[in-house]
Amino acid sequence: MASLRLLVVAILLLGCTSDHRLAAAAKRLPMMPASAAVVATVQRAVATPPFHAGIRINASPGKGQAALWLIAPRAPWSDAPRGVAAAFWENCANIRSEAVVICDAAFFQNYLREHTLYPASKAEIDLFSQWCVGHEFGHLVLDADDDVPAQYREYRADCWFLRNLAPEEWTPLVSLSTNIASGTIRHAFGPQPLGAGIIYDYNGRTYDFTSDADHPEILMRAVRLLVLIEHRRHDPAVSAMLRPFARQLRQDPSWGANQDLCIGGLRR
């Protein structure tokens, strides 16, 4: 889930290499088929301008199209140009000028291994891959050269993903987000008291996961997805889980206006 800044770094590493050459080099890596769920999420999303002609998988986009390139696990990254590996290895990123999203398929499983409380199931890994891919397509569609803070763009891209996720997948996303939130707390602070839902120390500790990096911490993003689902579905179970934790979670100032915009967009 890299940002454009990462791509700029990658491009600098390559000297005068252009986005086009970066894409051409990435395209030479071995690719693998995308799951039907990933394809469905993205196809729903890009059926409107500027990508009204749809998406292509593992191929160059034509006029009015965008493309997803899914790099196969165990791709020979050491043989790839340095900038390509820097941008896309163990990552998911986009090249706006080429209308391409490039994801290293190994990233999904490896990232969750470090960020969940319980080992991610195959279904959770697939849903996470939808999140990552959908997020990057959100950047492609929404990030014109607007002058908004980086983290605002990230929440906006996550919101765009959620809008284009099939409603029947929202409940599994609650489980995945809860698993990620609990896992992130566990990795940061060690074992927590037993409990249900988000597992945290409810004895008054303040959790500060806000960050100055391009992307908000994954816990903040997982919690925001839960907040959005709670609002959209008026879900008392999610509310009961979130409200006590939110009181101990330092709020991220870049979220407020975005939350209102996102919730408005979800009421379609």
Kindly state the smallest distance separating residue 49's Cβ from Zn ion, in Å: 21
Using CA atoms, how far residue 195 sits from 18, 205, 267, in Å, is: 51, 16, 33
- Residue 98 as a binder of Zn ion (CB under 5 A): the answer is no
Kindly state the smallest distance separating residue 136's Cβ from Zn ion, in Å: 7
Kindly state the smallest distance separating residue 235's Cβ from Zn ion, in Å: 26
| Cβ distance to Zn ion smaller for residue 71 or 117 | 71
Query: Quick one: which segment of 64-72, 103-111, 150-158, 185-193 binds Zn ion (CB under 5 A)?
Result: 150-158
- Residue 154 as a binder of Zn ion (CB under 5 A): the answer is yes
Kindly state the smallest distance separating residue 266's Cβ from Zn ion, in Å: 19
Query: Quick one: which segment of 79-87, 105-113, 149-157, 256-264 binds Zn ion (CB under 5 A)?
Result: 149-157
Kindly state the smallest distance separating residue 86's Cβ from Zn ion, in Å: 16
Binders of Zn ion: how many residues, by CB under 5 A? Answer: 2
CA 161 to chain centroid, in Å, comes to 8
Q: Which of 158, 130, 128 is nearest to 143 (CA)?
A: 158
Kindly state the smallest distance separating residue 182's Cβ from Zn ion, in Å: 23
The angle at the Cα of 112, spanning 210 to 87, to the nearest 5 degrees, equals 75
Query: Quick one: which segment of 15-23, 81-89, 117-125, 148-156 binds Zn ion (CB under 5 A)?
Result: 148-156
- Residue 230 as a binder of Zn ion (CB under 5 A): the answer is no
| Cβ distance to Zn ion smaller for residue 117 or 222 | 222
| Cβ distance to Zn ion smaller for residue 28 or 110 | 110
| Cβ distance to Zn ion smaller for residue 67 or 198 | 67
Q: Footprint of Zn ion on this chain (CB under 5 A)?
A: 1, 154
